[in-house]
């Protein structure tokens, strides 16, 4: 089915480790998807006032599903198109309970973040970048008595209580409360919404508004508050860094947030782009082996279904003729069986292979195992007897040192897993 709507969680998914930045690759992929007519939404546990810095990075964004699905905002009209808030009396009940404990809690109301003066001293134990914490604190409105705000419905309540002696008592009470649903993305962080509220329900409501079927939705997430959304979407996709339960429930798993997993998946399945892959030409059946033959490998050839394959032959790039005597690595140099030194040609071929890889944007390479150019981890030992030794071929070594992941032809499954395919 064609993709008509993409919904991305923020922290641990679309954003980098700083919890602030959308990478250039993620921005580009989402922009291209939007230009293709695909609607874009972020789906976050945060409220509106805490994500303006993200919205500013994605000016083409259409919708924000916020406060774990309590509301959906149409950014083009600034209107709320869906809402399901916690009743004021329920919120007041929770406030009164939490006020008994030395814990920091906050709540979202009217797209803003509120907390009680004096409780910020309990906001400890969050292993997050200081820049993000400073921004988070700056967006919080502090009150002398939050009970005075409990006359209106509430989007969401957050509790941060790390390692305290009352944690089990608090958790048991909240998770058994009949008027709320709770999620805990990390231990010590409990997020509360009205009963039945979650990102999936809000996403379903948005889809109903837009006339989009769940099979036409691509959703990304990493934590338990994303589970329903991942199960709802036809392209429900967990990040590789996601909680195991997310990866078990999702239909797909992509790369980590630090590896631009959102962009990688959008490029492949929404934009129809395949990731570039450098492959030893001999593995594709080209007769460029030293003896004029090839090392045709059907498993490698089949990679063309998932990758845009770019064939390379470092030895040919280096100007070595075919056929020729075999070469092996001896004391770090490429020496032929008759004792001639071809290191310069091997280095030239390695540099040209790296140039090709960088020009096409390839992150991965599948190279011929044991080869003096392409072998990774194990190569022929220089005795021309078929014996092996630890080490890399000259091209493989250069690619690895340049940040390109190299795999041998026996490591196809490992490559597919690493690429999130």
Mean pLDDT in each 10-residue stretch from start to end of the chain (421 residues)?
Answer: 94 93 96 97 92 93 96 94 94 92 89 86 68 74 83 90 82 94 82 94 95 97 94 96 94 94 94 93 96 96 94 96 96 95 97 96 95 96 95 96 96 89 76
pLDDT at residue 125 in the model: 58
Residues 6+ apart with CB under 8 A from 209: 81, 82
pLDDT at residue 230 in the model: 97
pTM recorded for the entire structure? 0.77
Three-state SS for 183?
Answer: strand
pLDDT at residue 124 in the model: 67
pLDDT at residue 1 in the model: 74
208 CB-contact burial (10 Å; exposed 0-12 / middle 13-18 / buried 19+): exposed
> Using CA atoms, how far apart are residues 408 and 421, in angstroms rounded to an integer?
17
Reported as type and span, the H/E element at residue 26 is helix 24-35
With the C-alpha atoms ordered 364, 367, 369, 375, is the resulting torsion angle positive or negative? negative
> Using CA atoms, how far apart are residues 345 and 348, in angstroms rounded to an integer?
5
Structure tokens given for 62? 């259409």
Residue 419's alpha-carbon distances to 31, 124, 253, 367, 396, in angstroms, are 22, 36, 10, 16, 19
> Using CA atoms, how far apart are residues 406 and 397, in angstroms rounded to an integer?
9
Residue range(s) occupied by CATH 3.30.1240.10 in the chain: 88-194
Cβ count near 296 (within 10 Å): 13
> Using CA atoms, how far apart are residues 86 and 195, in angstroms rounded to an integer?
8
With the C-alpha atoms ordered 222, 227, 233, 237, is the resulting torsion angle positive or negative? positive
In what order do the strands lie in the sheet containing 235-239? 79-83, 71-74, 63-66, 39-43, 5-8, 217-221, 235-239, 252-254
Cβ count near 73 (within 10 Å): 21
Residue range(s) occupied by CATH 3.40.50.1000 in the chain: 5-84+198-269
pLDDT at residue 130 in the model: 74
Is 3.30.1240.10 the CATH number for 88-194?
A: yes
Strand-strand pairing, 364-367 and 140-143: unpaired
pLDDT at residue 332 in the model: 93
pLDDT at residue 128 in the model: 65
| Preceding omega of 205 cis (within 30 degrees of 0) | no
Q: Topology of 5-84+198-269 in CATH? A: Rossmann fold (3.40.50)
């Amino acid at each position: 089915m064609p993709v008509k709507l993409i919904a991305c969680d923020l922290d641990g998914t679309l954003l980098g480790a700083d919890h602030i930045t959308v990478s250039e690759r993620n921005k580009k992929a989402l922009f291209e998807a939007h230009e293709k007519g695909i609607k874009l939404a972020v789906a976050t546990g945060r409220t509106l006032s805490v994500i303006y810095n993200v919205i500013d990075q994605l000016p083409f964004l259409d919708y924000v599903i916020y406060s774990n699905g309590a509301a959906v905002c149409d950014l083009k009209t600034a209107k709320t198109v869906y809402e399901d808030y916690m009743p004021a009396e329920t919120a007041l009940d929770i406030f009164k309970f939490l006020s008994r404990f030395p814990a920091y809690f906050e709540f979202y109301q009217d797209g803003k973040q509120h907390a009680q003066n004096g409780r910020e001293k309990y906001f400890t134990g969050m292993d997050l970048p200081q820049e993000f914490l400073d921004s988070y604190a700056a967006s919080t409105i502090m009150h002398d008595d939050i009970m005075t705000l409990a006359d209106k419905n509430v989007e969401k309540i957050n509790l941060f209580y790390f390692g305290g002696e009352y944690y089990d008592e608090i958790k048991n009470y909240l998770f058994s409360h009949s008027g709320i649903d709770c999620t805990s993305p990390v231990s010590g962080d409990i997020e509360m919404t009205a009963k039945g509220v979650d990102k999936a329900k809000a996403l379903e409501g948005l889809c109903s508004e837009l006339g989009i079927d769940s099979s036409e939705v691509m959703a990304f997430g990493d934590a338990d508050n994303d589970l329903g959304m991942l199960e709802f979407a036809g392209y429900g996709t967990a990040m590789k860094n996601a909680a195991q339960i997310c990866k078990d429930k999702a239909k797909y798993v992509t790369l980590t947030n630090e590896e631009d997993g959102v962009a990688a998946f959008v490029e492949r399945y929404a934009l129809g782009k395949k990731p570039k892959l450098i492959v030893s030409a001999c593995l594709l059946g080209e007769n460029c082996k030293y003896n004029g033959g090839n090392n045709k490998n059907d498993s490698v050839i089949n990679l063309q279904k998932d990758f845009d394959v770019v064939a390379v032959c470092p030895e040919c790039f280096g100007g070595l003729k075919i056929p020729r005597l075999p070469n092996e690595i001896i004391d770090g140099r490429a020496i032929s069986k008759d004792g001639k030194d071809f290191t310069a040609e091997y280095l030239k071929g390695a540099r040209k292979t790296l140039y090709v890889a960088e020009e096409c944007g390839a992150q991965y390479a599948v190279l011929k195992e044991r080869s003096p150019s392409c072998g990774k981890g194990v190569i022929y030992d220089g005795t021309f007897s078929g014996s092996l030794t630890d080490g890399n071929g000259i091209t493989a070594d250069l690619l690895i040192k340049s940040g390109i992941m190299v795999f041998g032809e026996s490591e196809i499954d490992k490559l597919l897993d690493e690429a999130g395919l």
